[in-house]
């Protein structure tokens, strides 16, 4: 079996989205087929164009009140980290393939505009399809 990656991304927090897009970029540069499944806040932020909002690091969690959260936010802001959307686009240009999926239930629950979501992702799918796809990959991450 060839090496491949599936990421189930539910968080909109910048540090988590950064980690997911970095892994997708690395994996596609190595020729891996990749799949990213967007749920809830990650999907809404992706569709609404707010993935690059570093203010979302750890918001609402104990991490938010910590020195690490502030240090991480400052680091991302001053390190010339490319746009997460640009990183995802670059992953699409890699030697591997990248498919971006929206969870159909999340689209409905969040009341997202279906034509806008369709324009931003490759496919809108349900959990059975996601599980079928993920069952065929060698590495699966939940972020």
d(CA 31, CA 26): 9
Is the pLDDT at 66 greater than 70? The verdict is no
Task: Give all domains of the chain, ordered by start, each with its CATH number.
Answer: 5-142 (3.40.1260.10)
Length of the chain: 143
pLDDT tens-digit series, residues 91-142: 999 898 999 999 999 999 999 999 999 999 999 999 999 999 999 999 999 9
pLDDT at 58: 58
For residue 25, give both structure tokens: 């970029």
d(CA 9, CA 143): 5
Give the CA dihedral 43, 45, 46, 48, nearest 10 degrees: 120
d(CA 129, CA 131): 5
pLDDT band at 81 (very low <50, low <70, confident <90, very high): confident
d(CA 23, CA 48): 22
Compute how many other C-beta atoms are within 10 angstroms of the C-beta atom of residue 60.
8
Count Cβ atoms within 10 A of the Cβ of residue 55 and give its class: 0-12 exposed, 13-18 middle, 19 or more buried: exposed
């Amino acid at each position: 079996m060839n090496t491949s990656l599936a990421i189930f991304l539910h968080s909109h927090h910048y540090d988590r989205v950064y980690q997911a897009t970095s892994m997708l970029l690395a994996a596609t540069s190595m020729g891996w087929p990749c799949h990213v499944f967007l749920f809830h806040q990650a999907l809404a932020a992706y569709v609404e164009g707010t993935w690059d909002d570093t203010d979302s690091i750890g918001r609402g969690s104990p991490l938010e009140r910590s020195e690490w959260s502030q240090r991480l936010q400052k680091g991302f802001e001053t390190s010339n980290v490319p746009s997460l959307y640009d990183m995802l686009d670059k992953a699409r240009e890699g030697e591997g393939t990248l498919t971006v999926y929206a969870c159909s239930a999340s689209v409905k629950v969040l009341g997202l505009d279906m034509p806008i979501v369709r324009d931003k992702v490759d496919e809108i799918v349900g959990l059975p399809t996601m599980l079928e796809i993920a069952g065929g990959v060698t590495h699966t991450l939940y972020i």
